Amino acid sequence: MDTIKEHQRFCDREFTAQDVLMIREIVQTCKGLSRLELAHTVCELLDWKRPGGGLKARECRDLLDRLESQGILRLPEKKSNGSKTVVKRTVAAATEHSLSAFTGSVEDYLPLQVELVQNKRQRQLFRELVSQYHYLGYAMPYGARLQYLVYVDRPSREVVGCVQFSSPAWRIKVRDQWIGWDDANRKLRLQHVVNNSRFLVLARVDNLASKMLSGVMRHLRVDWPRQYGVEPWLVETMVDRQRFHGGCYRAANFQEIGQTSGRGRMDRTHQRHGAEIKTVLLYPLVKHVKRKLAAGGER
């Protein structure tokens, strides 16, 4: 790879050498993503958006092509599905599913079976369940993502939960303060943070939610590096405090560190300040996680 220049100016924006280094690292570590997904991920992480809040994905794809032509990075092969139709990000449920009738204690159903979503049938089932039962519905996440279906095998095999992990939020004030991040270190090490962006429990079984989280987290430690080539160090999640207490996260040893401002990712003019305040909870996957994230390793 060629040496990175001091800066790159593109579409009236100046990208520092550190910005370009982060872009190259994203491309290298997120090898499972398409060019479009990489563009969306870079835009989110660099906060490169239009005045209305939309991501500058088209411009970013051109920037990635330019960086590749300069020998700074190597992009994945272009993919084509043979259609120019734009696929909507929000997906409606095509089939109605019934909630599980299982009740009682989770001890009656152990061990839980965690299944990584990998094929068309699994993806369709995950989308339909989340679309039908999660209050946010299903939205196709840009960037890195892994999805899991959680099953019980007795008295019959049945799906009882859905869990999704995706790329982290670019900025969360309380998280960044908790870690001790400045802008430079956040850009360099944000890829080691994973966001638990969907969590759905489909059975009224005591302690099922916390057991699901614990089980899925063990798989995440192995599956995320295998898929994206980067070790996850910290899991974050944000719980709508007007809807949920977040007790299952606390039972699974997540730590509450504070609350968001309520603005949301796209509120650039602060018009929605305090509108959707969420509780921020974190789960370290490694020892000395603050030190590793703030300084890149133990001292």
Please count the CA atoms within 13 angstroms of the CA of 141 that sit on its side-chain side: 22
Domains of the chain: 7-69 (no CATH), 90-295 (3.40.630.30)
Neighbours of 188 (CB within 10 A): 16
If DSSP states are collapsed to H, E and C, what string results for 15-74?
EEHHHHHHHHHHHHHCCCCCHHHHHHHHHHHHCCECCCCCECHHHHHHHHHHHHHCCCCC
pLDDT at 221 (0 to 100):
96
> By C-alpha distance, which of 212, 262, 217 is closest to 236?
217
pTM of the model: 0.71
Q: Would you write out the chain's pLDDT as a tens digit for each of its 299 residues?
A: 555 656 788 887 888 888 888 888 888 877 778 888 889 888 888 888 877 778 888 889 999 998 998 888 899 887 655 544 434 344 555 566 778 889 999 999 999 999 999 999 999 999 999 999 998 998 877 678 899 999 999 999 999 999 999 988 888 999 999 999 988 888 888 989 999 999 999 999 999 999 999 999 999 999 999 988 889 999 999 998 788 878 999 999 999 999 987 755 434 344 444 457 899 999 999 999 999 999 765 44
pLDDT at 37 (0 to 100):
87
What are the structure tokens assigned to 200, written together?
């759905």
The vertex-169 CA angle with 54 and 219, nearest 5°, equals 125
pLDDT at 7 (0 to 100):
76
Count of H-run helices and E-run strands, the chain:
9, 13
